[in-house]
Amino acid sequence: MEFSVENLTFNEDWISLEFEWKEKQFIFSFTNDTSQINGYRVIDNISYFWSTNPSENTISTVTKEVRKYMKAFDYFCELFKVKNYGCEVSKPFHKNKLIELPKKIKFMKLGEKMTKKEEISNVMKYFEIEESLDILGEIDCFHEKMLNVNTIYIDIASNLSIEEINRLNNKRIEIYEHKFSSEDMKIFLKNWKKNKTNLEYLKVNNESECIEMEEMLDGLNAKPFDPEGRDQYYELPDADVDCENYMDIERDFDGKLASVGIDGINLEVFVWDDPFPSKKWENVEEEEEEEEEENGEGEGDEMKDTVDALESLKVI
């Protein structure tokens, strides 16, 4: 019997296993702390001494050797059915370890200490990120491979210019701890208005109230919500957002609409792929009803033909 692991996340010093049926993660960490050793396990003639922490579901070994790390990593991959790989980078990987790890990962988190361009470049060059990237450190520019990841979270953007932000071509962008003004965000929206980008959703933290709607939208030909132009609610996977009080900007390239508004402490931008998603579902329901009616009529005609045939043969 093979258990499925939803996410296997690896770091330079630990391996984490996340199961659908278990709240807490199971963490296999590499440490030199031997004060609470409970036992050991032998894998391919390598002894792993371990200690347990019931509150954290942690097993800690007393090795940092690349060979032993990879033996443990491969063991988990054989033992469990791994659905997704993730990577958390808090310091540069050991070179030999890096080349033995999976290249395709679902998500990556770059820790606070990962700020040097060369170190970030070595990591980014190796991995192919399929879904999301979380940047915790204070960087001042993006690596090329960061620009097209589906989702990017920038926890500290204080060293990033708006021109650097304009390089991003991600579907979902979230920005925190920044120094952007209303004028900066106007530059961003102007760039979106003139160019075709992949942007679907932008969230910029505005807790300091440094961004004002009127100043930001000045000169962008923004218009209030028009029910003839788009739906009131923007569909997100977890909830629908009411955009009735958001202002709309039309993209010059293809006429797409972006709804811009400030909700609480966040500036939000929603780009409409379909301005009337509700009508799409209405059309689906109508088509299903029509199909049911057609199938019902067809079945009735077939039954009548069968009865007529049996009557002619004097079977009934």
The encoded tokens of residue 306 equal 């069968």
Residue type, 47: S
The encoded tokens of residue 41 equal 């396990």
Torsion, Cα of 124, 128, 133, 134 (10° steps)? -50
Q: Are 270 and 201 in contact (CB under 8 A)?
A: yes
The per-residue pLDDT for 242 is 96
User: Whole-angstrom Cα distance, residue 218 to residue 222?
Assistant: 8
User: Whole-angstrom Cα distance, residue 280 to residue 258?
Assistant: 19
Rg of the chain's alpha carbons, rounded to an integer? 28
Q: Are 217 and 186 in contact (CB under 8 A)?
A: yes
The per-residue pLDDT for 28 is 80
The per-residue pLDDT for 316 is 47
CA 91 to chain centroid, in Å, comes to 23
Contacts of 24 (CB under 8 A, 6+ apart): 56, 57
The per-residue pLDDT for 314 is 56
Task: Identify the segments of the chain with pLDDT beneath 50.
Answer: 316
Angle ∠(40,42,46) on CA atoms, nearest 5: 110
The per-residue pLDDT for 122 is 92
Exposure string (b/e) for 82-110, b if CB count within 10 Å is 16 or more? bebbbbbbeebbeeebbeebeeebbbbbb
Tens digit of pLDDT for each residue in 178-209? 999 999 999 999 999 999 999 999 999 999 99
Domain ranges of the chain: 1-83, 85-293
Tokens 């894998």 sit at which residue?
A: 43
Pick from 149, 119, 150: which is nearest to 137 by CA?
Answer: 119
The per-residue pLDDT for 306 is 64
The per-residue pLDDT for 239 is 85
pTM for the model stands at 0.83
